[in-house]
Structure 1
Amino acid sequence: MNYTIHQLRVFQSICKNKSITKASEELYLTQPAVSIQLKKLQDQFDIPLTEVIGRQLYITDFGMEIHRVSARILQEAESLKTTVDQYKGLLSGKISISVVSTGKYVMPYFLKQFSEAHPQVELRIDVTNKNAVVESLTKNETDFSLVSVLPENPPVEAVELMENELFLVSNSDRTISKKTFKPQDISELPIIFREKGSATRMVMKQFFSDHNINPEKSMELMSNEAVKQAVNAGLGVSIMPLIGLRNELKYGSLKIIPVKGLPIVTRWNLIYTKGKRLTPAASELLNFISSHKDEIVKDHFSWVEEVK
């Protein structure tokens, strides 16, 4: 057989995404390039790896078996490269981190110094919602995840990084007649929720349930950025993580509405599954973050106290 490592990587992405288009986006390749690599791999087997029904691509049972074998081959190939680099005195390898959407305001600052010290280590960050983050851990598709609410399953180890405070936020033009809202007063305002599966939505819903808040008008949006833009446009108010509102609060386009019982305080945790064998690069990152987290928070997040 004449398969290449590149073909196997492309096939892994196709199996993961069940789509040529999504695989091309993930791999930063054109769709024709992905299709060509799939065809070259397929040409080496008499049994089909994929099939198309309607407009949907499916992986055959044989394809899934090749997917599992190729995953092991790619892992061994990566180990070979790491071994060579170790003999050269270099730390190398790939580290995959899945991050809940608001975590994109947090995680890069905990990676910057490590990345500068170890340029041979390839860091990949996948930004999604909490449900998808937990699923990637369960399937062992990621080394670490950044979450603000710890999952019940799978069992995880966690390194606490910093607090995550959530406030009721509106645009600066909204007139608030009361100096301090009672939680029940929120029912009078149009509410903007994050999508199902979001940790922010989960704690927001819990706060509403605890205080018998039943908004008369609400909408649901699919990302923290979308919620922020909707609030900024005056479509409603939302309970949002302070960490993602630095510029809006600084320049006055958004404002915090004081509410008794807020902020909701959760904690950002870097997690990984219990019993996971970390690569040398992943172990070094974990040690670095554990040792430097306090100074990173002080250097990059002291502004949080200033805007509240």
Structure 2
Amino acid sequence: MNFTLHQLEIFNKVADLKSVTKASEELFLTQPAVSIQLKKFQDQFKIPLFEVVGRRIYITEFGEEITLAAKAILSQVESINYQALAFQGELAGKLKLAIVSTAKYAMPYFLTDFIRKNSGVDLVMDVTNKASVVKALENNDIDFAMVSTLPKHLKIETISLMDNKLYLIGGKQFHLKNKNLSIKEIEELPLIYREQGSATRYAMERFMASNKISTYKKIELTSNEAIKQAVVAGLGFSIMPLIGIKNELQNGDLQVIPVKDLPIVSNWNLIWLSSKNMSYVAKAFIEYINMNKSKIMKDHFEWFNAY
């Protein structure tokens, strides 16, 4: 047999995703390039690794065994690369995070210089909803999470990063009649919510319940980006984190609508399990955040003070 690490990587990715198209996208390769290398890898074996039924790929029992071996080999190669960098005096390894979707507007600013200064560190970051983030943390699949609502059932360590402010947001076509929007006026608005499991959804529902607000129409969308576009188009109104609408506020597509008891203010927190056996990379990142978070806030988030 004469297969390459590149072929192992391609087969492993196709086996995980069950799709040549998705594998090519994640590997930044063309579909023909992936298909050619996949065929060359299959040609090394007399037993089929996969079957194609319609447009779907199914991994055979033998293919599953080869997948396990491929993962082990690739993991060892990765470990060798990290060890080589470590012996050269460089910080090396993986930094794994899961963040709630709104945190994608903030977390990159807390990562950029750290990753730039440590070329041996590979970043793996999952952007999802709060429920999935907490599950990844609980399962010890990640080093850190960034959330605005702390999970009460887990023993965690935290670093407070910045305020999280949520306002009622409307499109530019909305005209406010009085200084503040009244509860009665809110009840007449079509409101747009995030999906169940979202921290933003939870905060919005708490505000509505505490003010005994019932609306005539409720719309549910599964991302803040979708909500932004819907509000810009005039489809409805929503309570959204300020961090994710900077550009739309500045260009006038969205506006903050003043309401009594808003904004809802919490904190963005970097959190990790208290029992976590921290890697050198994770420890270095904690040190970096503690030393630099004030400067990062000053350099990138001073616009927050205008609201």
TM-score (structure 1 length as normaliser):
0.85
Q: Which amino acid aligns with 2:148?
A: S
* Partner of residue 32, structure 2: 32
Indicate the SS of the match to 1:145.
strand
Is 2:183–2:213's contact at 8 Å kept on the other side of the alignment? yes
Instruction: Provide closer, same or farther for how the CA distance between residues 132 and 261 of structure 1 changes in structure 2, counting only shifts above 3 A.
Output: same
Q: Deviation at 1:237?
A: 0.9
Q: Deviation at 1:290?
A: 2.8
* Partner of residue 256, structure 1: 256
Q: Which amino acid aligns with 1:103?
A: A
Q: Deviation at 1:55?
A: 3.4
Is 2:82–2:120's contact at 8 Å kept on the other side of the alignment? no
Deviations 1:48-99 (A, max 9, x none): 4434444333344544444444333333222211111122122233334333
Q: Deviation at 1:199?
A: 2.4
Which has the larger displacement, 228-237 or 133-142? 133-142
Matched, 1:201 2:178: no
Equivalent positions of 1:273-292 (< 5 A) are 273=273, 275-292=275-292
Instruction: For 1:260 and 1:271, locate their aligned partners in 2 and report how far apart those are by CA, in whole Å.
Output: 31
Indicate the SS of the match to 1:159.
strand
| Aligned CA-pair RMSD | 2.9
Q: Deviation at 1:46?
A: 4.9
Q: Deviation at 1:135?
A: 5.0
Consecutive unaligned residues of structure 2, counting only runs of 5 or more, are none
Between the two proteins, what is the percent identity of the paired residues?
Answer: 50
Number of aligned residue pairs: give it.
Answer: 307
Equivalent positions of 1:58-97 (< 5 A) are 58-97=58-97
Deviations 1:203-255 (A, max 9, x none): 22232233332221232333222211221222211100001122322343322
Consecutive unaligned residues of structure 1, counting only runs of 5 or more, are none
Q: Which amino acid aligns with 1:10?
A: I
Deviations 1:120-163 (A, max 9, x none): 32334443333444455466654433222334677654433222
Instruction: Provide closer, same or farther for how the CA distance between residues 52 and 23 of structure 1 changes in structure 2, counting only shifts above 3 A.
Output: same
Deviations 1:19-67 (A, max 9, x none): 2222221221122223333334444445544344443333445444444
Instruction: Provide closer, same or farther for how the CA distance between residues 165 and 141 of structure 1 changes in structure 2, counting only shifts above 3 A.
Output: same
Q: Which amino acid aligns with 1:173?
A: Q
Instruction: Provide closer, same or farther for how the CA distance between residues 184 and 32 of structure 1 changes in structure 2, counting only shifts above 3 A.
Output: farther
Instruction: Provide closer, same or farther for how the CA distance between residues 111 and 188 of structure 1 changes in structure 2, counting only shifts above 3 A.
Output: same
Indicate the SS of the match to 2:193.
strand
Indicate the SS of the match to 1:297.
helix
Indicate the SS of the match to 1:179.
coil
Instruction: Provide closer, same or farther for how the CA distance between residues 80 and 210 of structure 1 changes in structure 2, counting only shifts above 3 A.
Output: same
* Partner of residue 239, structure 1: 239
Indicate the SS of the match to 1:215.
coil
Which has the larger displacement, 237-246 or 119-128? 119-128
TM-score (structure 2 length as normaliser):
0.85
Indicate the SS of the match to 1:110.
helix
Q: Deviation at 1:275?
A: 4.2
Q: Deviation at 1:9?
A: 2.8
Instruction: For 1:201 and 1:100, locate their aligned partners in 2 and report how far apart those are by CA, in whole Å.
Output: 12
Matched, 1:114 2:114: yes
Is 1:183–1:261's contact at 8 Å kept on the other side of the alignment? no
Indicate the SS of the match to 1:37.
helix
Q: Which amino acid aligns with 1:290?
A: N
Which has the larger displacement, 251-260 or 130-139? 130-139
